Structure 1
Amino acid sequence: MGVEEIVLLNADDEAVGSAPKSTSHHRNTPYHLAFSCYVVDTEGRVLITRRALDKQTFPGVWTGSCCGHPGPGEKLRDAILRRLRDELGMGDAAASATFTSVLPRFQYRAVAEDGTVENERCPVVRATVPVNGPVRPNPEEVEWAEWWTWDRCLELTERPEASPWYRLQLAELAPLGAPLEWPDAGQRDLPPALGW
């Protein structure tokens, strides 16, 4: 496997280069492209995960279903499919998922306890899958994964172990209603560096 690259962005969210992911997250992390995905089943339950305890950034925090970094030239849907497969073992379920852009303009900056910074333009996507789709988390990525009700997802925002991006995203998602009600925000507001 080659070196995973992240896409560096300027203030207009245009790609200005790339850098190795493994050496890019530190106290002065450059602004870069990412995504978050909430996997929702047809009963409206959300797959919530806890990041592996030895992750380089924000180990052990509880968060949405998966997140990641599109590589140079990689489209958003392809990046999500890759991470659902590699992080959660959801190859078949992901392949049949319906993807919806729900927060295409989301961006954030957060500082971990050790000083490591996340600094991302991070569109949020819902992936709707059949009920009881199989999940086989990769232990190098995910400590734990479980299907939660929306009310329980909202309660997580009040707990200190929730990731900072989860809290910020839920503040924008909660007013939109339950997960299956989130409207399609379209692709127009995705960053210029990222195709659908």
Structure 2
Amino acid sequence: MTVTEELVVLLDEQGHAIGTTPKAGVHHTDTPLHLAFSCYLFDAGGRLLLTRRALSKPTWPGAWTNSVCGHPGPGESLADAVRRRVGDEVGVRAVGVTLMLPAFRYRAVMPDGVVENEMCPVFVATATGEVDPDPGEVEDHRWVDWSDFRRGVLDGSQEISPWCRDQVAQLPEDPLTAPARGGDSLPPAARV
């Protein structure tokens, strides 16, 4: 079996693809703008899968955050990338993958100067199967009540990654019943 290098899609300020670079070296003190996504996974009872990033991650190691984050490969649709990464990171299947925040973008700087700089559309989905996290991606996980979690994020009592804090503030109060957003506001590079 041949292992191929994972690439991320680099973007200009308007969200057009301008090239690719290996994922392994994209995050540093001058991280270029690139395409990513976040996904919030819920179980059949409406609980959110909260994950703690692996301690070996180059950005925000050990931070609690949304269920899954990732980068689509060149030419890969965001929905396909979400399904792929959900399986890879937490070992479940994502069904009903729904776009919630097509134009979400953020830049965050860690205390050591490493930067996240992403156009990062946000999805919700339902998880099926038993959670079996990849230890290289996820240090810990737990199912939490969405309303309690959201309240804690909004009032500052829930420690969370900077992107998750900003996403929760923009997500609908009940993302499971909210209508999907159209893809017109996606970065052009994500409209495959």
Residue identity matched to 2:7: E
Task: Check the 8 A contact 2:36/2:70 in 1, yes or no.
Answer: yes
What TM-score, normalized to structure 1? 0.91
Q: In structure 1, what is the Cα distance between the partners aligned to 2:153 and 2:56? A: 22
Residue in 1 that maps onto 2:132: 136
Q: Offset at 1:147?
A: 1.2
Show the counterpart of 2:76: 74
- Greater Cα offset, 152-161 or 26-35: 152-161
Whether the aligned pair in 1 keeps the contact of 2:27 and 2:116 (CA below 8 Å) is yes
Q: Report the Cα distance in structure 1 between the residues aligned to 2:25 and 2:43, rounded to whole angstroms.
A: 35
Question: Does the Cα contact within 8 Å between 1:105 and 1:122 map onto a contact in 2?
Answer: yes
Shift of 1:153: 1.6
* Superposed CA offset, 1:36-86 (max 9, x none): 000112321111100001111110001000000111111111111111111
SS in 2 for 1:188: helix
Corresponding residue number in structure 2 for 1:126: 124
- Alignment RMSD: 1.5
Q: Which among 169, 173, 180 is matched to residue 177 of structure 1?
A: 173
Cα distance in 2 for partners of 1:67, 1:129 equals: 15
* 1:150-177 CA distance string (max 9 Å, x none): 133221452474100000001111xx22
Gap regions ≥5 residues in structure 2? none
Following superposition of structure 1 onto structure 2, how do residues 24-39 of structure 1 map, counting pairs within 5 Å?
24-39=26-41
Say which SS state the counterpart of residue 190 (structure 2) adopts.
coil
- After superposing on structure 2, the runs of 4+ consecutive aligned residues of structure 1 that deviate more than 3 Å are none
Q: Could you tell which deviates more after superposition, 183-192 or 110-119?
A: 183-192
Matched, 1:117 2:119: no
Aligned residues: 188
Residue of structure 2 in register with 1:102 after alignment:
100
Instruction: Give yes or no for the alignment of 1:64 onto 2:63.
Output: no
Contact 2:149 2:158 in 1 (8 A): no
TM-score under structure 2 length normalisation: 0.92
Distance in 2 (CA, whole Å) between partners of 1:85 and 1:159 is 30
Deviation at 1:24, TM superposition (A): 1.2
**More displaced 10-residue stretch of structure 1: 177-186 or 14-23:** 177-186
Percent identical pairs in the alignment equals 51
What code does the residue aligned with 1:151 have?
A: S
Contact 1:52 1:141 in 2 (8 A): yes
Question: What code does the residue aligned with 2:40 have?
Answer: Y
> Measured at CA, do residues 62 and 159 of structure 1 come closer, stay the same or move farther in structure 2, by a change above 3 Å?
farther
* SS class of match (1:181): coil
CA–CA distance in structure 1, aligned partners of residues 6 and 177 of structure 2: 35
Distance across 2 between alignment mates of 1:182 and 1:38: 13
